[in-house]
Structure 1
Amino acid sequence: SNIAAVLRGKNKPTFTPHNDGGDFVVVVNAEKVKLTGRKFETKLYQHHTGYIGGLKEETASELLARKPDQLVKKAVKGMLPKTTLGRAQLAKLRVYAGTEHPHSAQQPVELKLG
């Protein structure tokens, strides 16, 4: 939820809900994400292929094994507004499974969470 707040710009004194005043966020080590309880086995992620009967489901553990960055991205997407502004804010999020990322030229500042 801290990532969503930074993407929206809620940590700034100039926050207005109708303007995109948030910052870009780079998340690393997405494969080390932890979920509480039994959510790894019980939480389902669904998507539709577009074909008849094409509703696909996978658990959080399957999604983490296949695409660990998508697990974090889908969680943050659920915290943002479901509008064009929310989609623009989600485009400012970059998630990487490992520790390496190609954004070192932008001199990112580490954000302390928790």
Structure 2
Amino acid sequence: MKKYTYSARETDKSDKWYLVDADGVILGRMASEIAARLRGKRNPLYTPHADTGDSVVVVNAEKIALTGRKWDQKVYYHHTGYVGGIKAITAKKLLEKKPEDLVVHAVRGMLPKNKLGRALLKKLKVYAGPEHPHSAQQPEPLSIK
């Protein structure tokens, strides 16, 4: 009798949807749980090279929490592509300008840096307020402490 390790294909998964309310939740704790759900690590069919994860909808991103003095000390950088074009913005200003980017940036850093990671990030939907257009998918509420 042959014994072998089962390797799941992307067609083997059943895509579930989860709803996360970010009101008062600490950013890093939430991002690590979301990244694990997107990757499929809570799934018995988990395969590192395949997308076996679920989709996640995050609401109330404007009410996210950071610990300590991170609102003023945490700085996000990006480059415009021009010489000397590095730009910096603090977490507090980014929350005012585009609160969804705080969550997306945190989750992106916890996913693989390849094609798979970019595909997984497309399954993350983040909204600043309490409304979202994904009620047809019937997302299950996911509580994060």
Q: TM-score, normalised by structure 1?
A: 0.97
Corresponding residue for residue 84 of structure 1: 115
Q: Is 2:46 aligned against 1:15? A: yes
Q: In 2, distance between residues paired with 1:76 and 1:36?
A: 17
Overall identity of the aligned pairs, in %: 65
Structure 2 residue ranges without an equivalent (≥5):
1-31
Structure 1 residue ranges without an equivalent (≥5):
none
The one-character-per-residue Cα deviations of 1:45-93 (angstroms, maximum 9, x if unpaired) are 0111111111100000010010000001000000111111011001100
Output the aligned Cα RMSD: 0.7
Aligned length: 114
Letter of the aligned partner of 1:51 in structure 2? Answer: Y
Q: TM-score, normalised by structure 2?
A: 0.77
Corresponding residue for residue 140 of structure 2: 109
Corresponding residue for residue 59 of structure 1: 90
Query: What stretches of structure 1 move > 6 A for 4+ residues in a row?
Result: none
Letter of the aligned partner of 1:29 in structure 2? Answer: N
